[in-house]
Amino acid sequence: MKIIFATANRGKLREASEILGERFTLLTPHDLGIDEDIPETGETLKENSIQKAMYLYERFGCDCFADDTGLEVDALNGAPGVHSARFAGEGHDFDANIRKLLFELRDVPYDERTARFKNVVTLIIGGEMHFFEGCLEGHIALERGGTQGFGYDPVFVPDEFPDRTVAQLGEEVKNAISHRGKSLRAMAAWLKENLPETEA
């Protein structure tokens, strides 16, 4: 069964493919000739997720899904939140985003740097919309650590591994605990329960 995933990130695509399994063939907007950024103008993660999924569904009428992720830092009153990718300005520059985040938290002790990644997946299948959510609790590190992963991974310390950042965990461990992984596994479970094998 072919399904479109609204991403250009190869890491996210690989993670989704592993979770959904061989029953599904994932296509990306690039595979369908779309290389421009899909609009994300919502005020919440859910709104952005819906917007991206609808962008694909309205163009191709095919089953598709999209996700949006935000980092919520308690000491910053939940910021950057829905603006996580553009925290330091337009351009999705996560190196600049991390620099700004560490600067904003420069006087905050580690115990008070609690934060969480939140993820919302919107699935449109058979013309119907379904939602799946995941969350990963942790702290913002005092400095960067690790070279794997992407986004804020080098400064996010998950509660499950309090001595390492996500960027130091390795892809397999990260996918097992990640906010997006939780959303995608919930979606995979829903698909398995609601789509008989004969439809795939």
Instruction: Write the pLDDT tens digit of every residue in 144-169.
Output: 999 987 899 999 999 999 999 999 99
Active-site entry in 63, 67, 68, 153: 68
Confidence of residue 197 (pLDDT cuts 50, 70, 90): low
**What are the tens digits of pLDDT across the range 11-54?**
789 889 989 988 999 999 999 888 888 888 899 999 999 999 99
Residue 159: closest CA among 107, 191, 111: 111
Whether residue 196 is preceded by a cis peptide bond, meaning omega within 30 degrees of 0, is no
- State how far the Cα of 94 lies from the Cα of 9, in Å rounded to an integer: 14
The pLDDT score that the predictor gives to residue 112 is 98
Residue 68 bears catalytic tag: yes
**What are the tens digits of pLDDT across the range 168-193?**
998 889 888 999 999 999 999 999 99
Give the tokens for residue 102.
């560490």
Angle between helices 10-20 and 179-194 (to 10 degrees): 40
- For the chain, give every domain's residue range: 2-199
Q: How many CA atoms lie within 13 A of 171 on its CB side?
A: 12
CATH dotted code for 2-199: 3.90.950.10
- State how far the Cα of 184 lies from the Cα of 194, in Å rounded to an integer: 15
User: Does residue 124 have a pLDDT over 90?
Assistant: yes
